[in-house]
Amino acid sequence: MKAFLIPLGLLTLSLGAILYPALSGDRRLAFRDVSHFYQPLYRAIDARISAGDLPLWNPLDQFGLPVAGETTTALFYPGRLVFHLGLDAPQSLAVYIYLHLILAGLSVFWIARRYHGSVAASALAGVVYAAGGPVLFLYTNPPFLVGAAWLPLAAGFLVEAVHRWNRVSFAIGSMALAMMLLGGDVQSAAQVIVFLLGYVLLRAIRRMRVARRQTRLAGDARLGTKMLLGGTVLRLMTIGLAIGLASGAASLQIIPSWQWSQQSVRRHSPSSGVAQLTAAEPYVAAPSAWWQAPAAGTHQANVYDFSVGPWQWIGALLPGVCGEMFPENTRITRLLPSEGKTWTPSLFLGVLPAICLLIRLPIYLRRLVNRQAQRGRGNPLRIWDGMILAGLVFSLGGFGLVWAVRELAYLFGGAMILNDCNAAVGGPYWFLVSFVPGYANFRFPAKWLVFFSLGLALLTAHMVDRLARGSRDRWSGASVSLIGISVLALLISLLPIGSFGIDLSPAADSFFGPLNLSLWQLQAFWAAVHAALFATIVLVLCRRCPPSSRVLPIALLALTLIELTLHGRGLIGTASAPSDSKLAEMQRTTAPLRRVISLAAAPRWPERWGATSPSATPDPRNLRLEQVEHGQQLSLFMRWHLDAGIAKLNSPTSISHWRGPIFWDAVRPVLADSPPDQTTDRLRRLCQLLGADATLQPRVAQPERGPTASTEAPLQIRLDARVRNPDAAPIELVDDWRVVAPSEIVAVLPEHVRDYLTDATQASLLESESESLRTDLEPIPTVSELEIEEHQPERTLSHVEVSHPTLVKFFQIQDGNWTARYRATGGSVWHQATSHPVDFVSQGFEVPAGNWQVEFRYRPTWLVPASAISLFGWGFALWLLAAGFGCWRCARLGA
């Protein structure tokens, strides 16, 4: 265990230097979801936990959703204890990320040691993995970083257990897999399973030669078949048992997530590829043929978001050569027509890993061209080679075979072909989406880059150990090759590219301005100098240090540690909090609000942001990133409304209910076609339909013209909150409604929404197959009284007094776990009622005439059984671990 102190100390220092501004509490982590999505979400959840509640229902996002159903909340993940250390939310989030980066490095160190790496080489692998670009930049999405932190243990130990059964390896791998699930990264856990299945399949193919040879020698065809199938079946059983144990241990997250996913947009969207042939209906969007390009905005298309183009691979050799996204827009790859959304600005893991990659590259190419080459002699492919190749090819995502054929045809013939085809068809990721059950529910092919980082880190440790033992073949050639690539990049950076007349508009960013070509050239120049200098140092160390030198691995470790620390500081974005006066002004506006409809996903940001580079500002003290972060928080962008404690009915979430898009698709044309003098009335009716008290319109007031107008001047954010329904309450009594069969609701919804918003009807829609209590076709004025006695996220209690049967409408969506009951006021006997969907996105039930106490309560059916299964899973895993360690200890004592 003493060996762990070395990587622990190195990782603590390196990552502490990288994240120091956020760890100190002076600034907060910024850019993308870490700020506007997870910081307010985690703060809202942990505030309720600190108050002694178990937050099972989130009433502040959309029409309500289960907290555990949204996997990224990581409600039951033990690591969330960090948020209860007494630090403020931004600092707690920074510590949470810092500790998981350290965990990621220690995990790789442990795996490298299991693969017989020396302490120095294994520590080097841990630093390369945790401080390298693909993993470090996951700070922008904490659940994915949690997955990356546990993935080395899950993949490494389960590969051991699959290769040769071992109870300790099986238990540790399964528990790490469960931690990934509890931490909110289901996709990475699924990718571990896919990798293991691929490993077993390829191993079985390789064993076929041995099986055939055994068959010829023994003269018995059953012998080879038994040897092949027996081992393969046992390995597949091991994977199945690991899935079962991990799922059981993480059942508190798995079961509610699965239950919510069955009602999500992804479940009711057309599946991608040929998997749609067996998918369930109804669809939110109409399906297309499996070979056709999916419609933009559908889940079919979003599956391939953040695909990594092959031209980005050069970023693994030269730091930052593809450009940065902030604080200046120098992302040169955006000029390429096929470039999509950028997952990480850097694939760089250090010069030393780049040299190791160049050493292995010829071996990969020979295996691709000639499968018999080097077989059984010299350089066999190892598990880390499989991780590198899997990470690279699967992260291609939408860049499939059709895309390659289309680009080659245009390059050599100038003709555009296959325009109607899905560019991903024929690609590795397309096969996963099309043929692996359930994989079409995931997105983000770039998440496979974590396997690339892990494989390259382990390869680096292996190569450094071989180098220290005196095996230095090909090191000089690879170092010289990298120096040559650096010189070529340096020459390109010195060219007068700005005079070539290149259209730079495709690379413009709405926040960080147009492409700063001159700054990119400067960055490319220093990237080339960086790579050449460090490659030269590596080359000199390899030639000067004697064979079997203990100094060489330590020198390479120190070199890489310094290099990645300097490189990592440029990947982390931070910002200060808005001023107290601006926050107070925002809070005064939102204080009276309880439930709002946002009329814009974001305010109209200053146009000068997209037209002017941040470096062109007259006031260089104000950073563009900081202005963006302040503007997003003050305008309640994304999930910042959670900080204000108000519900936003059209907020973005990780997974939305399938009813949401259908409802808003019905509302949108009614508002778009509204005459100007009727818009206000229709918005008021919409608020009444949804139980909202106001509409919210964020606006930015900043001068857009004038020679002295600063692009970095403090933003003046104003929230235009118009109360349109002052009588809004969590519950409403409806005296006019009609019953519609659930199978017909999607067809009648557009007409119902139009009639309601245009004031042509006052009736609500109750989805039910049961007979209604209402006997009159015409509405009868009901003498009614409603008083809210208690309103909590998971329980609402009210007093209702009605003279006729009435519909009690509760403004939360029914996910199947809400229960309703009523009893006579002052009585003790509760009458159970079934709460049905009302007006498509609310719920309610019919109550007879009388004086009643009505309760809506969230009681998830999964909580008790999932808790029992989870306890059993963890207990069994710990028993396996203890038993395995006991056998190991006895074996050592016996020896």
- Specify whether 855 is located in the same domain as 798: yes
Indicate which CATH number applies to the domain containing 809.
Answer: 2.60.40
Highest mean pLDDT among 173-187, 410-424, 650-664: 173-187
* Residue 36 per-residue DSSP state: I
Are residues 675 and 665 in contact, defined by beta-carbon separation less than 8 angstroms? no
**Same domain flag for 613 and 677:** yes
pLDDT digits (tens, 9 = 90+) for 505-525: 889 998 999 999 999 999 999
Tell me the C-alpha distance between 527 and 482, whole Å. 12
Q: Residues 630, 30: contact at Cβ < 8 Å?
A: no
The tokens of 54 are what?
């178990």
Give the pLDDT of residue 34: 95
**pLDDT at residue 369, rounded to an integer:** 64
Mark whether 641 and 746 lie in a shared domain: no
| Residue 766, domain member (yes or no) | yes
Q: What is the pLDDT of residue 501?
A: 83
Q: State residue 376's pLDDT score.
A: 45
Give the position of tokens 């009622």: 833
821: which 2 tokens? 């009951």
Residues 694 and 755 in one domain: no
What is the structure's pLDDT at 228?
61
Q: Is 54 helix (H, G, I), strand (E, B) or coil?
A: coil
pLDDT at position 308 over 50? yes
- Where residue 203 falls among pLDDT bands split at 50, 70, 90? confident
The phi-psi region of residue 826 (left if phi > 0; otherwise alpha if psi is between -120 and 50; otherwise beta) is left
> What pLDDT is stored for residue 273 in this prediction?
42
Task: Please check whether residues 737 and 793 belong to one and the same domain.
Answer: yes
Check residue 784 and give its pLDDT. Answer: 77
**In this structure, are strands 836-838 and 737-740 parallel, antiparallel, or unpaired?**
unpaired
User: Are 61 and 645 spatial neighbours (Cβ–Cβ below 8 Å)?
Assistant: no
pLDDT for 728 beyond 50: yes
Write down the pLDDT at residue 283: 46
**Residues contacting residue 514 through CB under 8 Å, at least 6 positions apart:** 329, 504, 505, 507, 508, 610, 611, 612, 613
Token reading at 639: 């999930």
| Residues 736 and 844 both lie in one domain | yes
Do residues 655 and 689 both lie within one domain? yes
Which of 594-603, 775-784, 793-802 is predicted most confidently?
Answer: 793-802
Last residue of a domain, one of 694, 723, 752: 723
Q: How far apart are CA 136 and CA 132, in angstroms?
A: 6
Our count of domains for the chain comes to 2
- Write b or e for each residue in 781-798: b if 16 or more Cβ atoms lie within 10 A of its Cβ, otherwise e: eeeeebeeeeeebbebbb
Phi, psi of 852 (to 5 degrees): -125, 155
Contact 514, 503 (CB under 8 A): no
Average pLDDT on 375-394 reads 80
User: Is residue 41 a part of any domain in this protein?
Assistant: no
Residue 391 lies in a domain: no
CB of 338 within 8 A of CB of 564?
no
pLDDT of residue 826: 87
Q: What phi-psi label fits residue 470: left (phi over 0), alpha (psi between -120 and 50 degrees) or beta?
A: left
Q: What share of the chain has pLDDT > 70, as a percent?
A: 89
Percent of the chain at pLDDT > 90 equals 63
Q: Are 761 and 755 in contact (CB under 8 A)?
A: yes
**Residues β-bridged to residue 714:** none
The answer to the question of residue 340 being in a domain is: no
* Mean pLDDT, residues 466-475: 79
Specify the pLDDT at position 220: 57
Residue 554 has pLDDT above 80, yes or no: yes
pLDDT digits (tens, 9 = 90+) for 632-684: 999 999 999 999 999 999 998 888 899 999 999 999 999 999 999 999 999 99
Which has the minimum average pLDDT: 204-208, 373-377, 586-590, 805-809? 373-377
Residues 612 and 661 in one domain: yes
Say which range, 224-238, 280-294, 515-529, has the weakest mean pLDDT: 280-294
pLDDT of residue 470: 73
- Residue 402 in any domain: the answer is no
| Mean pLDDT over the full length of the chain | 87
pLDDT tens digits, residue range 836-894? 999 999 999 999 999 999 999 999 999 999 999 999 999 999 999 998 876 655 543 34
Give φ, ψ of 848 to 5 degrees. -70, 170
Is 638 inside any structural domain?
yes
Confidence (pLDDT) at 571: 94
CA-CA distance, 517 to 497, in Å (whole number)? 8
| 736 in the same domain as 719 | no
What is the C-alpha to C-alpha distance for residues 593 and 587, in angstroms, rounded to an integer? Answer: 10
Residue 408 has pLDDT above 80, yes or no: yes
pLDDT (average), residues 744-752: 94
Residue ranges with strand state E in 519-664: 573-575, 595-598, 647-648
Residue 612 lies in a domain: yes
CA distances from 596 to 41, 602, 605, 757, 784 (A): 18, 15, 21, 17, 26
Are the C-beta atoms of residues 408 and 402 closer than 8 Å to each other? no
687 within 8 A of 695, measured Cβ to Cβ: yes
For helices 221-249 and 251-261, what crossing angle results, to 10°? 90
- Check residue 102 and give its pLDDT: 97
Degrees to nearest 5, angle at CA 530 with 527 and 531: 90
Asked whether the predicted pLDDT for residue 731 surpasses 60, the reply is yes
Q: Give residue 792's domain range.
A: 732-861
- Do 642 and 717 lie in one domain? The reply is yes
**Range with the poorest average pLDDT among 167-181, 223-237, 873-887:** 223-237
Beta carbons of 96 and 142 less than 8 angstroms apart: yes
More confident residue, 218 or 749: 749
* Pick from 216-225, 228-237, 533-542, 723-732: least confident: 216-225
Domain contains 359: no
**8 A C-beta contact, residue 129 and residue 135:** yes
pLDDT 10s digits, 44-85 = 999 999 999 999 999 999 999 999 999 999 999 999 999 999
Please give the structure tokens belonging to residue 797. Answer: 């209690």
Please report, for residues 132, 139, 394, 429, the alpha-carbon distance to residue 307 in angstroms, rounded to integers and kept in the order given: 19, 19, 9, 10
Same domain, 715 and 756: no
> By C-alpha distance, which of 315, 555, 339 is closest to 452?
315
Which residue, 632, 658, 645, is CA-closest to 596? 645
Q: Work out the average pLDDT over 348-353.
A: 96
Q: Map tokens 């604080």 to a residue.
A: 327
pLDDT band at 706 (very low <50, low <70, confident <90, very high): very low
pLDDT tops 70 at residue 712? no
For the cut 60, the answer to whether the pLDDT of residue 279 exceeds it is no
> Which token pair is 595?
């439930």
Output DSSP code: residue 513.
B
**Residues 595 and 717 occupy one common structural domain:** yes
Average pLDDT over residues 703-713: 48
Q: Which residue has the higher pLDDT, 371 or 474?
A: 474
pLDDT at 276 exceeding the cut of 50 = no
Q: Which of 223-232, 273-282, 474-483 has the highest mean pLDDT?
A: 474-483
Predicted confidence band at 364 (pLDDT cuts at 50, 70, 90)? confident
